[in-house]
Amino acid sequence: MMTEDLKEELVRLRRDIHMHPELGFQEHRTAGLVEGYLRELGIRTWRIGATGVVGEIDNGGERRIALRADMDALPIQEENPVPYASRNPGVMHACGHDAHTAMLLVAAKVLSGMEFEGKLRFIFQPAEEGLNGALEMIKGGALEGVDAIVGLHVWSQLPTGTFAIGDGPVMAAVDRFRISVRGNGGHGASPHETRDPVVCASHIVMALQTIVARNVDPLKSAVVTVGRISGGTAFNVIPDVVEMEGTVRTFEDEVHELVERRVKEIAGEVSSGLGCRAEVEYEHLNRATVNDPRLATIAREVASKIGRVTEEQRNMGGEDFSEYARLVPGVFAFLGVRNEEKGIVHPHHSPRFDVDEEALPLGVQFEVSMALRLLEEGF
Amino acid sequence: MMTEDLKEELVRLRRDIHMHPELGFQEHRTAGLVEGYLRELGIRTWRIGATGVVGEIDNGGERRIALRADMDALPIQEENPVPYASRNPGVMHACGHDAHTAMLLVAAKVLSGMEFEGKLRFIFQPAEEGLNGALEMIKGGALEGVDAIVGLHVWSQLPTGTFAIGDGPVMAAVDRFRISVRGNGGHGASPHETRDPVVCASHIVMALQTIVARNVDPLKSAVVTVGRISGGTAFNVIPDVVEMEGTVRTFEDEVHELVERRVKEIAGEVSSGLGCRAEVEYEHLNRATVNDPRLATIAREVASKIGRVTEEQRNMGGEDFSEYARLVPGVFAFLGVRNEEKGIVHPHHSPRFDVDEEALPLGVQFEVSMALRLLEEGF
Amino acid sequence: MMTEDLKEELVRLRRDIHMHPELGFQEHRTAGLVEGYLRELGIRTWRIGATGVVGEIDNGGERRIALRADMDALPIQEENPVPYASRNPGVMHACGHDAHTAMLLVAAKVLSGMEFEGKLRFIFQPAEEGLNGALEMIKGGALEGVDAIVGLHVWSQLPTGTFAIGDGPVMAAVDRFRISVRGNGGHGASPHETRDPVVCASHIVMALQTIVARNVDPLKSAVVTVGRISGGTAFNVIPDVVEMEGTVRTFEDEVHELVERRVKEIAGEVSSGLGCRAEVEYEHLNRATVNDPRLATIAREVASKIGRVTEEQRNMGGEDFSEYARLVPGVFAFLGVRNEEKGIVHPHHSPRFDVDEEALPLGVQFEVSMALRLLEEGF
Amino acid sequence: MMTEDLKEELVRLRRDIHMHPELGFQEHRTAGLVEGYLRELGIRTWRIGATGVVGEIDNGGERRIALRADMDALPIQEENPVPYASRNPGVMHACGHDAHTAMLLVAAKVLSGMEFEGKLRFIFQPAEEGLNGALEMIKGGALEGVDAIVGLHVWSQLPTGTFAIGDGPVMAAVDRFRISVRGNGGHGASPHETRDPVVCASHIVMALQTIVARNVDPLKSAVVTVGRISGGTAFNVIPDVVEMEGTVRTFEDEVHELVERRVKEIAGEVSSGLGCRAEVEYEHLNRATVNDPRLATIAREVASKIGRVTEEQRNMGGEDFSEYARLVPGVFAFLGVRNEEKGIVHPHHSPRFDVDEEALPLGVQFEVSMALRLLEEGF
């Protein structure tokens, strides 16, 4: 399907973007590159927000299928000794969005040269990393008229040549909570004149363990992590406040609700039992990314003609593709980019993260095939 | 003050009572013996309840001083290989009430042969061990018209020849609590369908530790002990309920109230945070035994003419002498009965507990001297 | 496949066995019934132990396929107001083994009337409920020469007409642990002279929660339940020992090993930190029941011609079919027997448990079809 | 004993020092003032370290009695609207060392004008607040040849006109501990790949509560406070390390040793049970300040001729006078400086702390009388 020239262009594009990483909502250069490339192909484009780009090929017909890539990079200093390493100090494409963008551009090129009936929309979104750029795109109309959406994520734990496509939830809902345990500080030698928030916070941490251990169905998945705890400045002074921050990861809505409710109950009532008062801020950062089972079945069929399709893949990480897939049927596939021989083994968000570029044409094929299959046969 | 004959009588009386121990409110033989002995001396007596005995010498005058002994034994099988060992299987004078009764009888004999102005009341109460016989005596009028009361307790940790007399609280307030943690049982493989009271009870036990560690003034004393915990019958079934029983010991009223309040708060709110419900029964078994400082000063002076007076002695045990001392000025003294050479070293409530009978005449002298001193000089 | 007569016979058999339930290793009447029925069909049988029965049809050929049923009942008093209710007070077929046995007998009858090449073995085992009768059968040679084994379990949570057949682990490994926390008892008012095992046990319960909450991969399943805790007899005495019993449920071997190791580490080291000593007894009651993926695929194909095949079904209960499936490829299928309209909705081990007898012929068909398919086509 | 002129001089001195507070080991102005004043009186002086000053009157005789004052201030911004408020921003005599120094200077003046046999040493030490200046003075020879030492501390909780002088320990041993809980950090969504030090630290805090609650004799005093806890920087990252700092307060050596041992055991073994590793640094900042009973009796007699002597006073604060009193018999008395009418009620170390200057002549009288009494009569 792809000429050697096109494969070279794909790598060139990916490396260009890799060398010029931009943080969320600041993807000005990247958005310009995407926009120019699509226009060059004769594809109509428009912006959503400052850095979101949408392109559309409208060949008539009823169906409109969307393909989505994300464009933002991470605040990480690259440590890879490669010629295409980041030129932008402290910023790096350590999660493969450079590859996502390049693959979708080349897929658009391939598709723009083919004949088909239907509408294809290419969504290049900003700010996937913690800023929920997807929601901004949706608010800006990116999903209007769309019947189904396809996303693809390079995956460092899968070898090149492999696709992983699961049914149902494949990435977790991500919450952030902050618990401020307010006691009443005082001299460390006079605990009886205080309400000790250090002891209270410790009790809360203990009790939070029972959510996963006791409250959640053992056949379901959840994580409750306190990542930061901080209170007091002196060894001999009981502080007024201990602050904790943490994250909750879940797949199913009922588990999500259960865990949120239990975090709040535990913080509130255990602290009250210990004579303190807890304030809980609880934010939903990402919803769970849930694959439509019919689309997932189709995606596995499509992928099985390109590479190996492994057993189901789920992980507790978050992804704002979830926002699209809440509104229209969606499928989010993982593309293997690990290559032990080449030493491409570092995990996502590592300063040594890289992708095996041999895998990129497979991703383009998957996107092209999915687009045509869904337009032609529906689902 | 005491003839050899009287000392022999003292020992004979003590051994007689020791051989025939009776549990609380069942001191029929002992009460009969006491009553007969007092009447023999020409002392007027009357009963309070079935087994309480009061005697009074009324030589006119304004003041009325009470001396008190307790008569009940414990449900313990004696293990002492002595000829005067308990004849009553499973019942034993393992706390020295036999000595208390014998000493007060002989003190009454000595005093009945002396001239003095005033009224002396001898209170022989039942059921000191956990049944609060003192309260029954008070309800029956034992304290009516009494200006001050003196109690004496043999003490296995002090050597013969020693008195210990403190100011303020000398024995603890004793509370009993029962916490029933009600969850919702179920299969051990399905914790999410239950509310696990085992985990909740464990949290409560943890949180109870903070009362003494954090809430009570470190310069004051308190104990919170969970002595019994029990829940569940099968390894693979989560029970509905876990029961805990425990005791609280305190000296000062404000600490007493604080600890009771905290036990209830912790049980209530921590269990609520863990999704269970705690029912707390909280009983006051004994109040703190608080010595009147003026009486204690007099008692130390009196005792210092008989033996050695050690530094203040307090312990976290309970004593229903406290009931009298709440209503009229009282002093509760400890009489050393330990004798390492004789092997009389076992603690109270041990099946090997015994008293050094050499100490008993000192106790009689103390009671006699206190009675006369308080009648003559007031306080 | 089945005549009405045969369906009636199937129900008659099930009800006969239901009326005469027998506890594990005491299935004398049931074993006799099975043996007689098989011999009547001309099937060779032999016993393993007192109550295990094996039958075999040997039509030559290379392959030998086993079908397995379990025969024991539970110590439960039946509360169903049905004419075929248990005649044996306090004993009841509350887990459907009556249906398992009846289905396999009728399947043997159907198969004995058919022509096929190969060997079919019918394993009727005793004592599945907690006594690991499967292991006794294996020790007695029940699996010798067997190439694959098929098991079927009626399932109260699935409606009649449904099969649930998963890949990999479908029922959990079941462990039992007993932790004896040894401290040093004493008077409740003198905690400093003791080593308090109640406080220590509570710490251990807390720390055990971290195994599932922190140590086990959130994408995997595990349960750690303390079902029984017991220590102390008096409110004011700190006991010497607190005993806890509990269960661990896992699917994968590495999770199994991890949890066992962590239970022991936590009990050992946390108790040491709290000044006590923990003795841990840890027993493996059941291994995880793991379906061979090839057999599971075949079973789903077979079942899909008989009824509806639902998504994967796993549960944290235990099953000694696992013992067979550790040694030869096996598949364990769940057969829906729930019928809301008939009020057949009570869970396994309930005194109201029943099975929708309409489902039983489907189970026979599944067993017959699996036997033939595996003999004919292999796997 | 004191003329009005001398009382005015006393106040003038105190205010001068109050206006020019200096932190520990930086008391250059104060030391110069002290030195000049003593020399003016004809008293021989010498320095120990940069800012320690010793003066001595040697009238022959055998006995040598030392009186001690401390000179350093605290890093606190004074908030008192008084004309003599601190001129040194951020530094304040908020613990009364200005008064201590002024009183001892005036006592030296009074004593230098009297006739007596014996040697009097005046020790003006630096750095009492947490830096153990006492130890530096002792190393420099300040205690050489000294038979007994007397210290005096103004006390904001006692009213003017009151002295509090206890037997045995009157101020606590102060320890500082730092516990570094080392786990193994990682992504908050993957707890199973980490060893979570937040959970472990919480367990340690819980277990530390049992030291005071269970291990220490309830009739004795101890405090274990964790004043600072800190770990992690991001809500979704499990940190490598959690650090805690705290303080231990005890009176008796055996309690001191017990608590230190238990802190180390708990940190070590509980963390090990939770899969982490704890490093404990444990420092002894101050020993308990223990009054010699004979000196205390004398001091109460002496004080009772000057003001009211209250019941025993103990507190869990620390004081490096303890260092002197470990080596020679010592007594440390508290001088009431509270005056509700004047609004002088703020606690030590408050930016509003002040002393009722009416009390200062009483302190001088106490020091003069103690010096003469101990020289004349011995002890």
pLDDT at D311: 67
User: Which chains are adjacent to chain B, needing at least 3 Cβ pairs under 8 Å?
Assistant: A, C, D
Q: Write the single-letter amino acid at A314.
A: R
Least CB–CB distance from B221: residue in D210, D219, D314: D219
- Tell me how many degrees the CA angle D238-D240-D244 measures, rounded to the nearest 5: 100
The average confidence (pLDDT) of chain C is 96
* Cα–Cα distance for residue pair A246/A176, rounded to 1 Å: 6
Contact A214 B203 (CB under 8 A): no
* Cα–Cα distance for residue pair A154/A355, rounded to 1 Å: 8
Q: What string of DSSP letters covers A83-150?
A: TT--SSTT-B--SSHHHHHHHHHHHHHHHHTS--SEEEEEEEES--SSS-HHHHHHHTTTTTT--EEE
What are B283-336's pLDDT values in tens digits? 999 999 999 999 999 999 999 999 999 866 789 999 999 999 999 999 999 999
pLDDT at A236: 92
Decide if C244 contacts C250 (C-beta within 8 A).
no
pLDDT at C313: 77
- Chain D environment of B210 (Cβ under 8 Å): 209, 213
Extract the tokens encoding A256.
Answer: 């999500």
Given pLDDT bands bounded at 50, 70 and 90, which one contains residue D252? Answer: very high
Contact D211 B214 (CB under 8 A): no
User: Which chains are adjacent to chain A, needing at least 3 Cβ pairs under 8 Å?
Assistant: B, C, D
- Chain C environment of B315 (Cβ under 8 Å): 189
Instruction: Please state whether C25 falls in left (phi above 0), alpha (psi between -120 and 50) or beta.
Output: left
By the 10 Å C-beta count (0-12 exposed, 13-18 middle, 19+ buried), B312 is classed as middle
Q: Report which of residues C313 and B83 the model is more confident about.
A: B83
CB contacts < 8 Å between B and C, how many?
A: 145
Closest chain B residue to A264, measured at CA: B273
pLDDT at D81: 94
Which ranges of chain A have pLDDT less than 50?
none
- Chain A environment of C315 (Cβ under 8 Å): 219
- Chain A environment of D191 (Cβ under 8 Å): 223, 225
Residue from B209, B251, B255, B310 whose CB has the most chain D CBs within 10 Å, to mutate? B209
Contact A205 D196 (CB under 8 A): no
Contact B214 A196 (CB under 8 A): yes
- Chain A environment of B216 (Cβ under 8 Å): 192
* Cα–Cα distance for residue pair C56/C68, rounded to 1 Å: 12
- CATH of region C4-170+289-377: 3.40.630.10
- Max Cα-Cα span within chain D: 81
pLDDT at D378: 83
* Cα–Cα distance for residue pair B205/B278, rounded to 1 Å: 12
Least CB–CB distance from C269: residue in D215, D218, D269: D269
Residue A283 pairs with which residues in a beta bridge?
A: A176
Contact A229 D247 (CB under 8 A): no
- Tell me how many degrees the CA angle C201-C204-C210 measures, rounded to the nearest 5: 155
Contact D274 C206 (CB under 8 A): no
- Chain B environment of D214 (Cβ under 8 Å): 209
Q: Write the single-letter amino acid at C340.
A: E
Query: Strands, DSSP E only, in B96-236?
Result: 118-125, 148-159, 162-164, 168-171, 173-182, 186-187, 222-231
Extract the tokens encoding A333.
Answer: 């596939």
pLDDT at C1: 65
Contact A215 B199 (CB under 8 A): no
Q: Write the single-letter amino acid at D199.
A: V
In CATH terms, the fold of domain B173-286 is Alpha-Beta Plaits (3.30.70)
Contact D225 A188 (CB under 8 A): yes
Decide if C243 contacts C230 (C-beta within 8 A).
yes
Q: Please say if the pLDDT value at position C244 is more than 90.
A: yes
* Cα–Cα distance for residue pair D109/D107, rounded to 1 Å: 5
Average pLDDT on D241-248 reads 97
Extract the tokens encoding D207.
Answer: 């277990």
Q: Write the single-letter amino acid at A326.
A: R
Contact C266 D273 (CB under 8 A): yes
Going by C-alpha positions, the residue among A378, A320, A329, A376 that lies closest to residue A100 is: A320
Closest chain A residue to C219, measured at CA: A221
pLDDT at D1: 66
What are C184-243's pLDDT values in tens digits? 999 999 999 999 999 999 999 999 999 999 999 999 999 999 999 999 999 999 999 999
Neighbours of A75 (CB within 10 A): 12
Decide if C235 contacts C188 (C-beta within 8 A).
yes
Alpha-carbon distance C248 to nearest alpha carbon in chain D (angstroms): 18
Sequence spans of domains, chain A: 4-170+288-377, 173-286
Give the burial string for A335-371 (b: 16+ CB within 10 Å, else e): bbbbbeeeebbbebebeebbbbbebbbbbbbbbbbbb
Q: Write the single-letter amino acid at C112.
A: S
Closest chain B residue to C208, measured at CA: B199
pLDDT at B162: 97
Contact D223 B218 (CB under 8 A): yes
pLDDT at D359: 98
What are B20-61's pLDDT values in tens digits? 999 999 999 999 999 999 999 999 999 999 999 999 999 999
Q: Please say if the pLDDT value at position D263 is more than 80.
A: yes
User: Which chains are adjacent to chain C, needing at least 3 Cβ pairs under 8 Å?
Assistant: A, B, D
What are C326-379's pLDDT values in tens digits? 999 999 999 999 999 999 999 998 999 999 999 999 999 999 999 999 999 888
Alpha-carbon distance C187 to nearest alpha carbon in chain B (angstroms): 9
User: Which chains are adjacent to chain D, needing at least 3 Cβ pairs under 8 Å?
Assistant: A, B, C
- Max Cα-Cα span within chain C: 81
- Chain C environment of A222 (Cβ under 8 Å): 218
Neighbours of B257 (CB within 10 A): 11
* Cα–Cα distance for residue pair C14/C84, rounded to 1 Å: 9
Alpha-carbon distance D169 to nearest alpha carbon in chain C (angstroms): 21
- Tell me how many degrees the CA angle C351-C353-C355 measures, rounded to the nearest 5: 155
Q: What string of DSSP letters covers C36-73?
A: HHHHHTT-EEEEETTTEEEEEEEE-SS-EEEEEEE---
pLDDT at D379: 81
* Cα–Cα distance for residue pair C188/C376, rounded to 1 Å: 73
Least CB–CB distance from A213: residue in C212, C221, C316: C212
Extract the tokens encoding B236.
Answer: 């693979």
Alpha-carbon distance C234 to nearest alpha carbon in chain D (angstroms): 18
Alpha-carbon distance D218 to nearest alpha carbon in chain A (angstroms): 15
Closest chain D residue to A212, measured at CA: D191
Taking the CA atoms of chain C, what radius of gyration do you get in angstroms? 23
- Chain C environment of B227 (Cβ under 8 Å): 188, 198, 232, 234-239
The average confidence (pLDDT) of chain B is 96
Least CB–CB distance from D216: residue in C192, C199, C274: C192
Residue from C238, C250, C270 whose CB has the most chain D CBs within 10 Å, to mutate? C270
Going by C-alpha positions, the residue among B110, B84, B90 that lies closest to residue B18 is: B84
Least CB–CB distance from B227: residue in C201, C235, C318: C235
* Cα–Cα distance for residue pair B354/B342, rounded to 1 Å: 10
- Chain C environment of D210 (Cβ under 8 Å): 196, 199, 274
User: Consecutive sets of 10 residues in chain B, 379 residues long: mean pLDDT of each?
Assistant: 91 98 98 98 97 97 96 94 96 97 98 96 96 96 98 96 94 97 94 96 98 97 98 92 98 97 98 98 96 95 95 86 97 97 93 96 98 92
CATH superfamily of B4-170+288-377: Zn peptidases (3.40.630.10)
Extract the tokens encoding D371.
Answer: 């010096």
Average pLDDT on C145-159 reads 96
Find tokens 């992980």 and name the residue: A315
Q: Which helix (H) or strand (E) holds C224?
A: strand C222-231
- Chain C environment of D190 (Cβ under 8 Å): 217-218
- Chain A environment of B201 (Cβ under 8 Å): none
* Cα–Cα distance for residue pair C196/D52, rounded to 1 Å: 50
* Cα–Cα distance for residue pair B318/B285, rounded to 1 Å: 8
Helices B360-377 and B293-304, interaxial angle, to 10°?
Answer: 130
Q: Where are the alpha helices (DSSP H) in chain B?
A: 4-19, 28-40, 97-112, 133-139, 197-210, 253-265, 271-273, 293-304, 321-327, 360-377
Residues contacting D109, CB < 8 A, separation 6+: D6, D9, D37, D41
Q: Which helix (H) or strand (E) holds D273?
A: helix D253-273
Contact A206 B206 (CB under 8 A): yes
pLDDT at A1: 66
